[in-house]
Amino acid sequence: MDTLFLTILNMSIVASWVAAVVVILRLLLHKAPKWIAVLLWALVAVRLLCPFAVETTFSLIPTTEPVAVEHIAPAAPDAGVSAVTPSVDANTPSQAMPDQPSAPTPTVPVVVATEPTPPSLLSILSTVWVAGVAAMLLYTVISYICLRMRVREAGFLEGRMWQCDRIDTPFILGVIRPRIYLPSTLSSGDMTYVIAHETAHIKRGDHLWKPLGFLLLAVYWFNPVLWIAYVLFCRDIEFACDEKALQTMGDGAKKPYSDALINCSIPRRLIAACPLAFGETGVKKRVVSILNYKKPAFWIAAVAIVACVAVSVFFLTDPASPPEQKETNGAIVTTTVSTVTTTQPTASSTTFGATEDTTTAPTASTTPTTVTTTTAPSTTVPTTINTTTTVKTTKATAATAAPTTKATTPPTTKPTSAPTTKPTTAPTTKPTTTPTTKPTTNTGPYKQETVTPTSVKPGETLTFSVVIKDEDGVNSPKLSIYSGGYATVGSVPLTRVSGDKYDGVYTAQFTVPEYFPAGSHYSGRASYTRDNKRPVLALGGGGVPFTITEP
């Protein structure tokens, strides 16, 4: 859930940039047919629906990860551990030798005593977000039910038109079989034009797009830019619909059409999710627009289409990942178990009678990747490349693109290096990974953790092995144990068993306390400080995971 929210947050920020661009474009193209503005909003929606996109060098998106997990989920290992380090360090000499597994035990309980860390900021925000989405969906469902109740006594007229005593403005309800509801107080003169307008809506598919837009808004409710985008989107739909209706009826209909519009306009709430009501949106502007309507010159449409294509290329593609990152991808074959955090879509939304077409599935399916990728703007791409589905692979490459831009934007630096995910038994993975991924030139820091075994009973001991290469030197390396990826349970120092401080292999033992619950997941993530105290940018994925089994 936390990682899902983080993806959502990042996607909404990226989409906001696109939305801002669309607002500007809309102003520039205000003389162009309005269906183009609607199309531009559709592009924003695409950005909101797809967590990943084709990478091109044309992308004007600064980063697909403006908010990385370190920003709002301070792993707080430093805070928690520093209090503990003295006692841990005191035992360091005895822990240097692997054959003293009992040594760490006394220190760990002390470490864990500091464990009741408050829920991270990310968890709190995620919970608030879910509550918001639930509220929005509840509102949608309730207002839909209210409308359905009101038109229960509507009498059939013909085709898809119904007449109702209890409504005062015409609207469309229904997604699969949209019905036009007309108030009985509608004068017969106005009726022709109202019907023309509502039919144009249905022909344009607005009875689908508008609820879909609102659904996206429900998911991204926290972003004010997107609310503005939705309001403008609704307005543009109405303008485009007026244009289409007038096209069908001809110029002579302009005056009576705007009369009908004025007659039907009744002050209503600004954001109404469901009905495509006739007189709802910005009546004055619409009347002006209708009376001034002319078939647009060909070149305006051409310019507008070019603008759409440009927006697509520049903003629907993600920034490309840098070459040197790709080199170190090497051929590490790691099977990531990071997909532990599978989340299901929170809502199967029923909008206006259609349960099948609007779900939040797309965002949920990419949840697993974010566990690793949001913390991995680094060289250790391998971890993410070999995740199980192709969807994840592309997200991974998108995420690795982040580092290049992070260099230009204020760096998201934290002293901790992000963990890499590398489960499976050490013997099998280590031989394959070390030779293939060792960079010939030390182009950047590199860290890889492994653990044996990957599932333990409480009371048993885990052996961690970490390869760290860093031109700036590795000092005071330690391995922190994380519960769920953010809360630190404790840490043990790492001792070097081979190599040197610039390129070495480290090891640490950790005995699982008796009270670790069976079935729970933890991970071990290594961190260190450099000679020059330069902060270590997040490296790798979320640490190497291990599971607790029944005692």
Partner 1 sequence: MSDYQMGTVEARFADIIWENEPIASGELARRAEEVLRWKKTTTYTVLKRLCDKGIFQNIKGTVTSRISREEFYARQSEQFVEETFGGSLPAFLAAFTTRKSLTPDEVEQLRRLVADYEELS
Cβ distance 212 to 356 under 8 Å? no
Indicate the residue among 166 and 203 with the shorter CB distance to partner 1: 166
The runs of H, that is alpha helices, within 351-444 are 361-365, 367-373, 382-385, 390-408, 426-437
d(CA 415, CA 372): 18
Binding mask 514-543 for partner 1 (x = CB under 8 A): ------------------------------
Stretch that binds partner 1, among 157-165, 225-233, 311-319, 533-541 (CB under 8 A): 157-165
The pairing of beta strand 455-456 with beta strand 544-548:
parallel
Indicate the residue among 164 and 246 with the shorter CB distance to partner 1: 164
The pairing of beta strand 503-511 with beta strand 495-500:
antiparallel
Indicate the residue among 153 and 251 with the shorter CB distance to partner 1: 153
Stretch that binds partner 1, among 158-166, 259-267, 342-350, 469-477 (CB under 8 A): 158-166
Q: Given candidates 113, 156, 176, 551, which one binds partner 1 under the rule CB under 8 A?
A: 156
Residue 275 structure tokens: 């009905």
Indicate the residue among 181 and 510 with the shorter CB distance to partner 1: 181
DSSP string, 177-204: S-EEEEETT--HHHHHHHHHHHHHHHHH
d(CA 529, CA 534): 8
58 binds partner 1 (CB under 8 A): no
We find the least distance from the C-beta atom of residue 164 to partner 1, in angstroms, to be 7
Q: Which residues contact 448 (CB under 8 A, 6 or more apart)?
A: 380, 420, 422, 433, 437, 466, 467, 468, 540
Q: How many residues bind partner 1 (CB under 8 A)?
A: 11
Binding mask 353-392 for partner 1 (x = CB under 8 A): ----------------------------------------
d(CA 313, CA 308): 9
User: Residue 282 to residues 254, 289, 394, 398, 492: CA-CA distances in angstroms?
Assistant: 17, 11, 42, 40, 64
Indicate the residue among 82 and 184 with the shorter CB distance to partner 1: 184
We find the least distance from the C-beta atom of residue 65 to partner 1, in angstroms, to be 53
Q: Which residues contact 22 (CB under 8 A, 6 or more apart)?
A: 37, 40, 41, 43, 44, 229, 311
We find the least distance from the C-beta atom of residue 142 to partner 1, in angstroms, to be 21
We find the least distance from the C-beta atom of residue 165 to partner 1, in angstroms, to be 3
Indicate the residue among 184 and 344 with the shorter CB distance to partner 1: 184
Residue that has been written with the tokens 């906001």 in this structure: 16
We find the least distance from the C-beta atom of residue 275 to partner 1, in angstroms, to be 18
We find the least distance from the C-beta atom of residue 152 to partner 1, in angstroms, to be 6
We find the least distance from the C-beta atom of residue 177 to partner 1, in angstroms, to be 13
Indicate the residue among 108 and 164 with the shorter CB distance to partner 1: 164
d(CA 235, CA 96): 69
We find the least distance from the C-beta atom of residue 263 to partner 1, in angstroms, to be 17
Find the helix packing angle between 206-219 and 188-204, rounded to 10°: 60
Residues in 160-189 that interact with partner 1 by CB under 8 A: 163-166, 184-185
d(CA 118, CA 438): 39
Residues in 182-221 that interact with partner 1 by CB under 8 A: 184-185
Binding mask 116-155 for partner 1 (x = CB under 8 A): ------------------------------------xxxx
- Give the burial string for 359-371 (b: 16+ CB within 10 Å, else e): ebeebbbbbbbbb
Return residues touching partner 1 (CB under 8 A): 152-156, 163-166, 184-185
